[in-house]
Amino acid sequence: MRKESITLRIILIAAITIILLIPLFMIQSLIDDRQTYRAEAVLEVSKGWAGNQNVSGPVLTVDYTKEIKDKDGKILTSNTRVNLLPDTLNYTVEIFPEKRYRGIYEVILYRAKVKINGKFNTNELSKTIDNKKIDASYVSFNLSDLRGMQKESQLKWNDKEYNLSAGLHTQNVLKNGFSSAVPIELNNSEYSFAIDLMVNGLENIEFLPIGKTTNVNVKSSWNTPSFTGAFLPSERKINEAGFTASWTINSFNRPYPQQWNDEYYDVFNSAFGLNLIVPVDQYQMTMRSSKYGLMIIVLTFLSFFMIELFGKTAIHPIQYLLVGLALVIFYSLLLAISEYFSFDVSYIIASMSVILLISIYVTGVYKSIKIGSIIFFALIVFYGFMYTILLLQDYSLLIGNIALFGLLASVMMLTRKLNWFDVLKTKAN
């Protein structure tokens, strides 16, 4: 193929760039598939362990019989239920993380030692059910996945111990868990409770702030927690040895009362807690890096074009295509290697492989070590720039725009004395 005019070469380079978007999008689809496989691996592990846990309780529920008179003076009875939330509720939690593997995929599990204690104030409850017949009274605790219950626990209720039963009497407050029948007397206004649990879970644990005052204290040796839900910790400390976090939440911070009958309130909207996240999710980082793929291709092709423009040398469009495919396959290499090594190591291996490949190829094409060296250092700068953007996520937009502005300014300065009318009319030598 003959060497064509500069104008036609620009059109061909642009067309090749657009064509390269097809394999780039295919690689992004592959990244999504690998993320799906990881999610399936996590699900498989959770089937034999336990899932994400939402721990809460207790809710005191009293079923009683109410007598009313109709318009004829006849006495009728109706069964009524009232729910009461604790006056104070304290969670003390210690989390012991564990790493498990399903194939090449890492899954974070945990065992949590959960101590729950507090007290109920039944003054308002006594007014509600005064002179009524109490049919049943029980307390209910929430635990999302009962497979995570690792030991048989007992409830201490006013210093007496009571057995627990799996399942809930009603789901108008909590969704899943266990309960215990407890006695109450209308002349006693305070009831204390305490329970110790050992709970298995998967990555996430949350709590419900159903106390009039709720205090939560969590500690663990895991040093990369992600705090989630309706409330962030009031105090937290994270270092290499692990983390500690504490929350203090009062009843004004949640949209439901301390006591109600059969009305429905979604207490789970106020859930909060934490995730034990892997420090670097290689799939997320690889997907982010692939979104800069077009920029790397354009910058590399621009470098080649500037060499052609000033060096009076040219390469065939097929050679542009081969270089572009090498740039695209970087993301496939990065994805594959990062499933076995850390993202940082994977990035270095994949980028240096591609940089060396292109540099050696260009040296042979141009028959010039100087041009090969220029491309080598240019690619080092481009991939180093992309890695910096990936690390500085909060400032990626600012840094990216400053760098691109500087690059555009450099090209404009280098070509400011070119007469483009003459250049576009000439043949590439």
Over residues 158-166, the mean pLDDT reads 91
Tokens of 403: 């760098």
| Sheet strands (E) in 182-292 | 190-202, 204-207, 213-220, 225-229, 235-239, 242-250, 259-260, 272-276
Are 130 and 178 within one domain?
yes
Are 247 and 158 within one domain?
yes
Residue 352 resides in a domain:
yes
pLDDT level of residue 415 (50, 70, 90 thresholds): low
Range of the domain at 108: 51-278
Among 130, 123, 172, 141, smallest CA distance to 54 is for: 141
How much is the pTM? Answer: 0.71
Q: Is the pLDDT at 1 greater than 60, yes or no?
A: no
Q: Is the pLDDT at 3 greater than 50, yes or no?
A: no
Contacts of 226 (CB under 8 A, 6+ apart): 274, 275, 277
pLDDT in tens, 190-199: 899 999 999 9
Q: State the pLDDT at residue 394.
A: 62
Top-confidence residue, 19 or 65: 19
Q: How far is residue 352's CA from residue 346's CA, in Å, rounded to a whole number?
A: 10
* Residues linked to residue 82 through DSSP beta bridges, in sequence order: 62
Domain end point (choices 226, 248, 278): 278
Residue 56 resides in a domain:
yes
Among 95, 63, 74, 57, smallest CA distance to 173 is for: 57
Are 274 and 287 within one domain?
no
Q: How many structural domains compose the chain? A: 2
Q: Residues 52, 204: contact at Cβ < 8 Å?
A: yes
Are 27 and 159 within one domain?
no
Q: How far is residue 239's CA from residue 263's CA, in Å, rounded to a whole number?
A: 45
pLDDT in tens, 77-104: 777 888 999 999 999 999 999 888 777 7
pLDDT in tens, 347-380: 999 999 999 999 999 898 888 898 889 889 989 9
Are 343 and 270 within one domain?
no
Residue 1 resides in a domain:
no
In angstroms, how far is CA 147 from the centroid of its own chain? 24
Residue 46 resides in a domain:
no
Q: State the pLDDT at residue 421.
A: 55
Residue 308 resides in a domain:
yes
